[in-house]
């Protein structure tokens, strides 16, 4: 019996610590919470099957708030904690300055949300995109515009790495396909009043609006466009796949 006990209570299994980096605060906190929950669910499933070669996987979360400066602090924190790898990254603008930190430390980084083409150029070889890049999304958007008969579109971004990249790529692709960019506007994250943009969109004669930033702004813009009587199409980039968009836009 003692021998059997010794076999089952031998050296404790090692732990593999995985860092999760996501916006846990700010306008996109709901996405960050979803991201953290998804990673933890996957890890729980892996641990239920014995972990990695018997080693248990644990997590530690750092909040980047989708802010570049806070992302650097969050990334440095995870590296200092000695994580084996990092998973997450929702906003391209926040992910971009951390690639050097993780690259210099030799820590693998699986990016499951951000997808700006700028991330590919800045990758030091240790980052892996789980999402398609903006050029692929731009191609899909143009196909959608053509299918719906949109000949003139207004493209609106927030000036960050993700939305400006997608806006630029889509505008170029649409013009190459024979379309016209009726208006090109850049707003600010956290903006509440889009009346100036709405006025420009309506006067531009655009058949549709393509919003390339995140759901918080996209929902308000959609609501204000409809309230102002804009009847054209409203097309959204993948940063708007949140139930909160529908709740706010109405």
71 lies in which domain range?
2-129
For residue 162, give the CATH number of its domain: 3.40.50.2300
Number of domains in the chain: 2
- What is the chain's alpha carbon radius of gyration, rounded to the nearest angstrom? 22
Residue 142 and residue 125 share a domain: no
**Token pair belonging to 32:** 């960050």
The domain boundary, picked from 129, 158, 175, lies at 129
Residue 207 and residue 119 share a domain: no
Residue 74 and residue 113 share a domain: yes
Rounded average pLDDT over 38-67: 97
Rounded average pLDDT over 21-36: 95
118: burial class by Cβ within 10 Å (0-12, 13-18, 19+)? Answer: buried
Statement: residue 7 has pLDDT above 90: no
For 160, left (φ over 0), alpha (ψ -120 to 50), or beta? beta
Instruction: Say if strands 233-236 and 208-211 run parallel, antiparallel, or are unpaired.
Output: parallel
Tens digit of each residue's pLDDT (9 = 90 or more) over 66-122: 999 999 999 999 999 999 999 999 999 999 999 999 999 999 999 999 999 999 999
Residue 82 and residue 154 share a domain: no
Residue 159 and residue 102 share a domain: no
Statement: residue 183 has pLDDT above 70: yes
135: burial class by Cβ within 10 Å (0-12, 13-18, 19+)? Answer: middle
The domain boundary, picked from 109, 129, 149, lies at 129
Note the pLDDT of residue 3: 37
Residue 125 and residue 147 share a domain: no
Note the pLDDT of residue 13: 60
Residue 154 and residue 121 share a domain: no
Note the pLDDT of residue 12: 52
Residue 125 and residue 61 share a domain: yes
The domain boundary, picked from 79, 94, 129, lies at 129
Statement: residue 136 has pLDDT above 50: yes
Residue 125 and residue 159 share a domain: no
Instruction: Say if strands 15-22 and 56-63 run parallel, antiparallel, or are unpaired.
Output: parallel
Identify the residue with better confidence: 178 or 132.
178
Band of pLDDT at residue 14, cut at 50, 70 and 90: confident
Q: Quote the strand ranges of 160-221, DSSP E.
A: 180-186, 208-211
Residue 240 and residue 138 share a domain: yes
* CA 48, 49, 51, 56 torsion-angle sign: positive
66 in Cβ contact with 104 (< 8 Å):
no
Identify the residue with better confidence: 11 or 129.
129
For 59, left (φ over 0), alpha (ψ -120 to 50), or beta? beta
Identify the residue with better confidence: 29 or 2.
29
Rounded average pLDDT over 5-19: 64
Residue 73 and residue 106 share a domain: yes
Residue 125 and residue 6 share a domain: yes
Rounded average pLDDT over 196-212: 98
């Amino acid at each position: 019996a003692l021998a059997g006990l010794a076999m089952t209570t031998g050296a404790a299994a090692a732990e593999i610590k995985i860092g999760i980096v996501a916006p846990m605060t700010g306008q996109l906190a709901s996405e960050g919470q979803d991201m953290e929950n998804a990673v933890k669910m996957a890890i729980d499933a892996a641990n239920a099957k014995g972990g990695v070669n018997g080693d248990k996987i644990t997590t530690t979360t750092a909040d980047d708030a989708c802010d570049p400066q806070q992302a650097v602090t969050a990334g440095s924190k995870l590296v200092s904690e000695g994580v084996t790898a990092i998973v997450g990254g929702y906003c391209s603008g926040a992910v971009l300055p951390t690639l050097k930190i993780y690259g210099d430390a030799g820590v693998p980084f699986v990016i499951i949300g951000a997808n700006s083409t700028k991330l590919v150029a800045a990758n030091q070889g240790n980052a892996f995109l789980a999402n398609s890049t903006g050029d692929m999304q731009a191609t899909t958007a143009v196909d959608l515009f053509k299918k719906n008969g949109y000949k003139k579109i207004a493209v609106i971004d927030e000036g960050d790495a993700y939305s400006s990249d997608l806006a630029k790529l889509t505008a170029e692709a649409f013009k190459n396909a024979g379309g016209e960019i009726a208006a090109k506007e850049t707003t600010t994250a956290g903006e509440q009043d889009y009346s100036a943009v709405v006025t420009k969109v309506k006067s531009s004669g655009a058949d549709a609006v393509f919003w390339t930033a995140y759901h918080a702004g996209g929902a308000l813009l959609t609501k204000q466009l409809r309230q102002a009587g804009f009847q054209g199409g409203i097309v959204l980039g993948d940063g708007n796949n949140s139930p909160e968009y529908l709740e706010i836009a109405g």
